Amino acid sequence: MMRLLVLIAGLLALLAVAAAAGGGFAERVGVPAGAAYVGSQACLDCHDDAGTFYQHTPHSVERAPIAPGSGAGACEACHGPGSLHVEAGGEGPIFGRAALSALDAEDRAEMCLQCHQDKRLAWSDSPHAGSPTDCAACHTDVVHGGGSAQAPSAFRIAGEFCLQCHAAQAADFRLPFRHRVLEGEVSCQDCHAVHGAAPAAEPLGDLNAACLNCHTEMAGPFLFEHEAVSAEDCTACHRPHGSVNDKLLTQDGNSLCLQCHFEPGYPTIGDVDHGGFLGSEARCYDCHHEIHGSNLNPTFLD
C-alpha cells in the first residue's frame, strides 16, 4: 500500500512539473499587449487558402487556448490573439510565420505541447527534445495541411521518412545483413517511439524487451543460460540496424565468441579438437546453434 501511495505521489509531482512547464508560453514569445482573441473566422476572411487545407487536418478541431480561459482555439491557439492584426487590415502584429521560425526548437515544441499535454513527459525524455528538431520537423502535414512533401504519408516506406535525418541508420539499412526497413518489412516505430515513450529511442527502456517483441523464441527462460545473453543486452553481440556480418553480429562470428571464450574464467575450446575448425569457414554457432540458451544442452549444441 505504501509503495502505491509513493507511486501516486510521484506521478502527481511529474504532472505538476509538466503543467508548470507549459505555463507562460505567451509571455515567452512576446504576444502583443492589448491583443484579444477574435476567432478563426476573422482569419479565414483573408487566409481562405490556408483554411481550405486546414479544415482537413486534426488542428481543425478546436484546440486549447494560449491563455487559459480565453476561449481561443484553432488559428489563435498557435498564432496568438489576432485582434490587432485584423484591425490593421493584416498589417498589425500577429505571431506569424516569421516569428514562429525565429523561435528556437524548444519554444516551437512548447507551442505544440501546450495543447498536446499527453505527449509532454514522453517528449521531454526523448532524444529529439533538446535537439534542433521540433514537432513540425515531422508533423508539417498536420499543421496547415496541404500535402507537404515532408509528410510521412508522402513516402512509400514509412522508415524513409525517419531516415531523411538519421543518415547513419540509413547507411546501416543498406548493409548486406540488416533489418529490412527499406523493404517495408520492419518499421522504425516497431522499436522506437518517436515521442520518447517505450519502446523508446533507448528502446523500451529495456533494450532486450524491444528485440524480444519480435524474436520471441530467444526470450527464455532456459535451463542453461548463456551468460552473454542473461548478463548483457542484445547489442553486446548484434548491431540492430545492419552489419557486414551474418546475423547482424558486431564482429565476424568466431572473433566475437573468442572475445569472452579466450579469457580465464570462461569455457574455452579446452581439450576439444577445435583447431581445424577455427582456420576454416566453420563458425562457432554452426554447432552451438542454441547460442541464446538451451533446455537440453549446457554447451548449446543442437
Q: Encode pLDDT of 225-246 as tens digits.
A: 888 887 788 998 999 999 999 9
- Please indicate, yes or no, whether residues 134 and 229 belong to a single structural domain of this protein: no
Q: How far is CA 207 from CA 11, 171, 193, 211, 300, in A?
A: 24, 22, 13, 7, 24
Query: pLDDT value at position 196?
Result: 65
Query: Quick one: pLDDT band at residue 61, thresholds 50, 70, 90?
Result: low
Domain finish residue from 85, 109, 143: 143
Query: pLDDT value at position 232?
Result: 83
- Please indicate, yes or no, whether residues 136 and 115 belong to a single structural domain of this protein: yes
- Please indicate, yes or no, whether residues 71 and 181 belong to a single structural domain of this protein: no
> Considering the domain boundaries, does residue 218 fall inside one?
no
- Please indicate, yes or no, whether residues 28 and 129 belong to a single structural domain of this protein: yes
- Please indicate, yes or no, whether residues 91 and 171 belong to a single structural domain of this protein: no
- Please indicate, yes or no, whether residues 178 and 231 belong to a single structural domain of this protein: no
- The share of the chain scoring above pLDDT 70, in percent, equals 72
Which residue reads 520537423 in cell numbers? 137
> Considering the domain boundaries, does residue 214 fall inside one?
no
Spell out the SS3 assignment of 113-182: HCCCHHHHHHHHCCCCCCCCCCHHHCCHHHHCCCCCCCCHHHCCCHHHHHHCCCHHHHHHCCCCEECCCC
Query: Quick one: pLDDT band at residue 295, thresholds 50, 70, 90?
Result: very high
Lowest mean pLDDT among 131-135, 154-158, 271-275, 285-289: 271-275
> Considering the domain boundaries, does residue 92 fall inside one?
yes
Query: pLDDT value at position 111?
Result: 82
> Considering the domain boundaries, does residue 185 fall inside one?
yes
Tell me the residue range of the domain where 182 lies: 155-190
Alpha-carbon distance of 182 to 288, in angstroms, equals 32
> Considering the domain boundaries, does residue 78 fall inside one?
yes
- Please indicate, yes or no, whether residues 227 and 287 belong to a single structural domain of this protein: yes
Strands 224-225 and 293-294, by their bridges, are antiparallel
Query: pLDDT value at position 142?
Result: 65
- Please indicate, yes or no, whether residues 139 and 159 belong to a single structural domain of this protein: no
